Amino acid sequence: MTESRKLRIGFIPLVDAAALIVAVDKGFTAEEGLNVELVREVSWSNVRDKLNIGLFDAAHLLAPVAIASSLGLGHVKVPIITAFGLGLNGNAITVSPELFNALKDAADGDLADPMVSARALARVVMNRKARGEEPLTFGMTFPYSTHNYQLRFWMAAGGVDPDQDVRLIVLPPPYMVESLANKHVDAFCVGAPWNSVAVDLGIGRILHFVSEILERAAEKVLAVRARWAEDNPDMFHKLVRAHGRAAAFVEDEHNHHEVARLLSAPGRIAVEPEVIRRTLDGRLKISPDGTYRSSDRYLMVGRKGAARPDPAQAAWLYAQMVRWGQALMSAEGLAEAKAAFRPDLYDKIIGGSPDLPPSEPADRVGAFTGPAFDPDNIVAHLDGWKIRRR
C-alpha cells in the first residue's frame, strides 16, 4: 500500500450519510488504500463552499446543491459531479398536533393519502385567511433542497401556492424541533433523526414519508468537483468503489445494529442508536401515542438501483428549480443539470444494470400526482401545472 495523501470529506450529521460514515469507519476506504478524514459540518453552505474552493475533496451533499453549483445558481459556478448516490428519499413531513387536528377536521378521507392531506391543507389555509390569521409557516433545510421541493410539490397539488398562501423558511435541522415546540413553525420537512425526535418529545406528528409523495427522489450524493475527478481518477475510483461496498453493508438487515452503532458515535451523528435504527428499518413511530408506519422505501441507500445516479432525477430537480423561479428554463441548463449525475462512471467503477427492477416507476421518479414527467421534455411537464412561478 502506498502512502497516500489525506482526503478530506465533509458531511452533515444525518442518517443518509450512512454509506459515507460506514465506508470510512468500517475501513472500506482504508482497504482501498485511501486515507480519509471525515469532517463534520454545521451547514450546507459550508459544505458547498469548502468543496467548491478545494478545502474538501468530496462531500455528502444535497443533490439539488450539486446541480445548483454546476449551474452557478445562488453562488459561484463550480461544476460538480456525482458517480454515487448516497440515498433516495429519507425525509418526512412532521406537523404540530394543532395542525394535525385541523387537517383531520378538514379531511374528506384518510390523511395518509397525500392528495387527501394536500386538499385538507388547502382548506385549512383558506379558513385561516378568511379569519384573518397569520399564514402557516413550514420549515425546510435549504433553498436548493429536496425538502423544499417535496413540500412545495405536495402543497401545490392540493391547490396551495407555497409562495403566496404559506411561509416557507429555512431552518437548520438542529433548530427544527425547538421551533416546532415554541410555535415558530407549524410543520417541517427534514431528514432523520429530527422527525423522530419531535415525535418522541410528543410535540409533532409525522404526516408523510416523502416516499409517499415521490417514490424515487435523489436526496444526498457523494459529490466531487468535476476537475478533481479528472485530475485524480485513481483516488476517485477507489472512493466510489469503497462506497459501493459500504452501501451493500448498510442495506444488509443483519448489519443494521452495527450500522446504527457506528452512526450514533460522538464524532458522527451523536444520537441514540435506537433512533437511527428506525430509519434504517424504515419503521418510524409517527405519533406520540405510539402508532408506527413502515415503508420499505423510507430511505433507500443502495437497494433498487438507488446508488446509481439517475439523470432523470436530476431533470426532475431542475424542473423544480424552474417551476419555483430559482432557474430560467433552458435546454443547456437541463443538459448541465443531467450531466452532474454520472451513471456511466458508476457503471465503469462498480458495474450495474441501467434497468430498474419492475417494482420501480417507469418514469424513474414516481410522483403521486401531476402531469406526466418526461426527463427529456420538462417544459411539457411544467406547462401542465397551474401553480408555478412565471
Partner 1 sequence: MDLNVKIVIVDESPVRSAILEEGLREAGFMDVTRIAEMTNLLARIYAIDPDVILIDLENPSRDVLEQMFQVSRIVKRPIAMFVDQSDTASIQASVDAGVASYIVDGLKKERIKHILDTCISRFNAFARLQEELDRTKSALEERKVIDRAKGILMKAKSINEEEAYALLRKTAMNENKKIAEIAQSVITASEMFK
String marking each residue 180-199 x if it binds partner 1 according to CB under 8 A:
--x-x---------------
Regarding 46 and contact with partner 1 (CB under 8 A), the answer is yes
Cβ(370)–Cβ(157) below 8 Å: yes
Among 16, 25, 32, 49, binds partner 1 (CB under 8 A): 49
Nearest distance from residue 39's CB to partner 1, in Å? Answer: 12
Nearest distance from residue 216's CB to partner 1, in Å? Answer: 25
Instruction: Measure the CA–CA gap between 385 and 389, rounded to whole angstroms.
Output: 10
Nearest distance from residue 10's CB to partner 1, in Å? Answer: 12
Hey, what amino acid is at 333? Answer: G
Residue 182 or 359: which CB sits closer to partner 1?
182
Regarding 377 and contact with partner 1 (CB under 8 A), the answer is no
Regarding 142 and contact with partner 1 (CB under 8 A), the answer is yes
Among 30, 31, 74, 352, binds partner 1 (CB under 8 A): 74
First to last CA, the chain: 57
Nearest distance from residue 167's CB to partner 1, in Å? Answer: 10
Pick the piece of the chain touching partner 1 (CB under 8 A) from 106-114, 152-160, 171-179, 252-260.
171-179
**Percent of residues in the chain assigned helix, strand, coil, to nearest 5:** 45, 20, 40
With CA atoms as reference, report the closest residue to 20 among 64, 57, 69. Answer: 57
With CA atoms as reference, report the closest residue to 203 among 294, 276, 291, 95. Answer: 95
Half-sphere exposure of 57 (CA within 13 A, CB side): 19
With CA atoms as reference, report the closest residue to 206 among 177, 166, 241, 170. Answer: 177
Nearest distance from residue 173's CB to partner 1, in Å? Answer: 8
User: Segment 85-124, which members bind partner 1 (CB under 8 A)?
Assistant: none
Among 37, 55, 261, 330, binds partner 1 (CB under 8 A): 55
Regarding 270 and contact with partner 1 (CB under 8 A), the answer is no
Residue 142 or 318: which CB sits closer to partner 1?
142
Regarding 226 and contact with partner 1 (CB under 8 A), the answer is no
Instruction: Measure the CA–CA gap between 205 and 221, rounded to whole angstroms.
Output: 28
Regarding 56 and contact with partner 1 (CB under 8 A), the answer is no
Place of cell 395542525: 99
Q: Cβ of 49: how many Cβ atoms within 10 Å?
A: 18
For the stretch 207-227, what's the b/e string if a residue is b when 16 or more beta carbons lie within 10 angstroms of its beta carbon? bbbbbbbbbbbbbbbbbbbee
Please give the residue ranges that form the binding site for partner 1 (CB under 8 A): 42-46, 49-50, 53-55, 74-76, 141-143, 169-175, 179, 182, 184, 326
